[in-house]
Structure 1
Amino acid sequence: MFTLKEFLKEEVKPALGCTEPGAVALCVARAREELDDLDIASIEVRVSKSIYKNGMYVGIPGTDGLKGNDVAAALGAVCGKSALGLEVLKHCGRGHLEHAMTMLKDGKVRVIPDLGRDGVFVKADVMSSSGQKAACLIEGAHTRIVRVEKNGRVVTENSEAPTEKSSKKPEGDVSKQLANMRYREALRVLGEMDDDDVEYIMEGVAMNVAMAEWGFEHDVGLGFGAMIKNLAGESWDTEAGLPAKVKAWCAAASDARMMGVPLPVMSSAGSGNHGITAILPVYIVAEHDGASRRDTAKAIALSHLTTSFIKSRMGRLSPVCGCSVAAGAGAAAGIAYLRSKSFEMAERAVAVMIADLVGMICDGAKETCALKVGTGAIEAYYAAMLALRGGLKPPQGVVDALIEKTVDNAARLNTEGMTGVDAILIRQMQSR
């Protein structure tokens, strides 16, 4: 059984920019670090359809709005530092961007989708002008480097990572355990929370609040969060206005993040937008209620645990929008627990959320993610409130009497029923 600290270390991490192009940049950067000659002749990156889809239209931090996996790959080669994980492009500047754009213009970078692969899979092959070659494979999770090679010789290899033939195996030790646990069993680690855990969780709150504030204050993306705030008017600080407030804060953060604003967010289960959705609704309600710092952190930790519990079954990347379904369910559970101190209420909220949004499709990371993040946030609030009134009477639809079975039903609908969705979406995008 993992500890709370182990869970937070593996599943709740800072991320700069969208995590899919972030994984591409990380993979290229790690391969390039093996080369003695840094004059790059070519970069070829092969990615799963999930990675390809999510990186096509999303902004890359520090590029003034440039988008795409190819931009991330070029920057990873020029200025990426693999030791920074999902903040791999943290130290990239204007000169680096110009160099990266020259590489793209010269046709040195190719990103190729493997339509036969799902989940997290990135394989980068980098060659220098002197003929040196290096390769890196990331699989199973966005920062899970499985193998690094130099001139055909294995430099490092993670023997416990999933093999190159399958990207559907569990992402890491914590996720692997969660996939085989009951929900209440996973929540036991909340009893271990100490002051360091509280501070780490609240550090994530500060990151995501800062991103939302940027979205409110600047005209970025759709401007959806700022629009909702303006429409809320005098109800903004009332209980009646709380649903709109929750939605606006999450949408504003996504508005900024999807356009590549160079600020980190605290991710959840491998996704920054999951982190926004899992954290901010719970925090906004806690602030409204005047909850203590520790109670707020505990409810947010429960939200993270719930998000990862669902993602461990549904897959790290999937045809279904994890921000609304998984992280939205996490937020619903967190809000319900915050206002009841009851795990049963949290379970009821998860069931309501899955019944509500289980079929929402992910059509890639882009500015319209603010719409779906906002939907996940506001529906999380309503799901929590409905749960506190009694929730649903199972079974009905995907909802079962057991929360584990409900999540498994939703996961099967996703992994078995929607297997062709990503390939269709990619073909539609490529045809433009």
Structure 2
Amino acid sequence: VNTVDVDDVRDVLAKQVAYNTAISDEGLHRIYGANIGITLLSVYGDDVKTRAKAAAAAGSDARMSGCEMPVVINSGSGNQGMTVSLPVIEYAKELCVTTDRLYRALCVSNLVAIHQKAKIGRLSAYCGAVSAAAGAGAGVTYLYGGGVEEISETITSTLANVSGIVCDGAKPSCAAKIASSVDAALLACYMTMQKRRFRPGEGIVKAGVEDTIDSVSRLAKDGMQVTDEEILKIMIDR
């Protein structure tokens, strides 16, 4: 991320910023689904932490309820594409960073999400918003000046918190799951900046971030096979 030639990624990241921001704005100004984004801003206020959650949720509000505006995806998913990008974009605005710095932070968030998803596989009962939000948290940590160690702690603390969220299809409640996942990622970011962390051996947390990611991937890919079957039965049981 620190050495990439930004011109090599500028086109795709510029589209991610433009397209995903546009559908988020649409979700914040019109009625879609349960309007999680609008609800967050109306209830919790207008600070950057709330805006980061609301922006990602609002994009999902619109997309899950029929809005045909384009989205730049991550790991095959529009919801994940919005989750990895919109919180980072909001923090970049708040911190008044350069476009170059924003694009590098988006490299962090996108690649962290892809790295996790590659180990989980294409389909799982594990909610992809969690891995995407962990990426977003890593991107925000980068914007605050965090390096590999701080980014690793942010990922670990996010996964230790919300890895139990299940996927039950694409529908309006995805926006709420995104908001919850981003909230966990921001908590992890602020924990890291205050030198607070979850310790190895506490639940699924391992000594290194890669081992923790492997633990979560095992949970998502193998442990949730039966969960996936039960969710499908529940969904078709009228």
Confirm or deny a common fold (TM above 0.5): yes
Task: State the AA in 2 paired with 1:273.
Answer: N
**Structure 1 residue 372 corresponds to structure 2 residue 184:** no
Q: Give me the whole-angstrom Cα distance separating, in 2, the residues matched to 1:205 and 1:381.
A: 20
Map of 2:28 onto structure 1? 216
**Structure 1 residue 206 corresponds to structure 2 residue 12:** no
| Matches for 1:322-341 after TM superposition, within 5 Å | 322-323=128-129, 325-341=130-146
Task: State the AA in 1 paired with 2:69.
Answer: L
| Count of residues in correspondence between the two structures | 237
Map of 1:306 onto structure 2? 112
Map of 2:150 onto structure 1? 345
Task: State the AA in 2 paired with 1:360.
Answer: I
Map of 1:103 onto structure 2? none
| Matches for 1:233-244 after TM superposition, within 5 Å | 233=45, 236=46, 241-244=47-50
Q: Give me the whole-angstrom Cα distance separating, in 1, the residues matched to 2:201 and 2:48.
A: 30
User: Identity of counterpart residues, as a percentage?
Assistant: 33
* TM-score (normalised: structure 1): 0.53
Structure 1 pair 392–197 and aligned structure 2 pair: CA distance change class (3 A) = same
The structure that is strand-richer by fraction is: 1
Contact 2:23–2:62 under 8 Å retained in 1: yes
Deviations 1:264-316 (A, max 9, x none): 11111111111111001111111101011010110111101100111111112
Q: Give me the whole-angstrom Cα distance separating, in 1, the residues matched to 2:56 and 2:216.
A: 24
Deviations 1:121-156 (A, max 9, x none): xxxxxxxxxxxxxxxxxxxxxxxxxxxxxxxxxxxx
SS in 1 for 2:198: coil
Contact 2:6–2:103 under 8 Å retained in 1: no
Deviations 1:402-430 (A, max 9, x none): 11110111111122222111221222222
User: Which ranges of structure 2 fall in alignment gaps of 5 or more residues?
Assistant: none
SS in 2 for 1:317: coil
* TM-score (normalised: structure 2): 0.95
Map of 2:56 onto structure 1? 250
Match of 1:355 among 122, 142, 160: 160
Q: Give me the whole-angstrom Cα distance separating, in 2, the residues matched to 1:287 and 1:407.
A: 30
Q: Give me the whole-angstrom Cα distance separating, in 1, the residues matched to 2:4 and 2:52.
A: 28
Deviation at 1:190, TM superposition (A): 4.9
Deviations 1:370-414 (A, max 9, x none): 100111122211111111222333232111111111011111112
Task: State the AA in 1 paired with 2:134.
Answer: A
SS in 1 for 2:71: strand
SS in 1 for 2:144: helix
Match of 1:383 among 188, 192, 195: 188
Deviation at 1:196, TM superposition (A): 4.4
Larger Rg: 1
Map of 1:412 onto structure 2? 218
Q: Give me the whole-angstrom Cα distance separating, in 2, the residues matched to 1:204 and 1:307.
A: 15
Deviations 1:178-221 (A, max 9, x none): xxxxxxxxxxx651232241342122011111111111111111
The structure that is helix-richer by fraction is: 2
Task: State the AA in 2 paired with 1:206.
Answer: A
Map of 1:176 onto structure 2? none
Map of 2:42 onto structure 1? 230
RMSD: 1.4
Contact 1:303–1:327 under 8 Å retained in 2: yes
Map of 1:193 onto structure 2? 5
Map of 2:81 onto structure 1? 275
Map of 1:108 onto structure 2? none
Contact 1:193–1:298 under 8 Å retained in 2: no
